Amino acid sequence: MNSDSDLQIAGDILEVPHLLQPAREHPSTVAEFVGLARSIAADRSQWEHLVRYDATSRWYHRLRTGPGYEVWLLSWVPGQGTGLHDHGPSSGVLTVLAGELTEHTRGGTRALGVGAQQVYAPRSVHGIVNDSLEPAVSLHIYSPGLTEMPMHSTAEPYATARA
Residues 4-36 have pLDDT tens digits of 555 555 555 455 555 555 657 789 899 999 999
How do 101-105 and 108-112 pair as beta strands? Answer: antiparallel
- Binding-site positions for Fe cation read 85, 87, 126
Q: Give the tens place of pLDDT for each residue, 82-94.
A: 999 999 999 999 9
CB–CB of 128/101 below 8 Å? yes
Strand boundaries in 28-67, DSSP class E: 59-66
Whether residue 89 contacts residue 26, with contact meaning beta carbons closer than 8 Å, is answered with: no
Smallest CA-to-CA distance from 146 within 80, 69, 79 is with: 69
CATH number of the domain located at residue range(s) 29-143 in this protein: 2.60.120.10
> Which residues contribute to the annotated binding site?
85, 87, 126
pTM above 0.85, yes or no: no
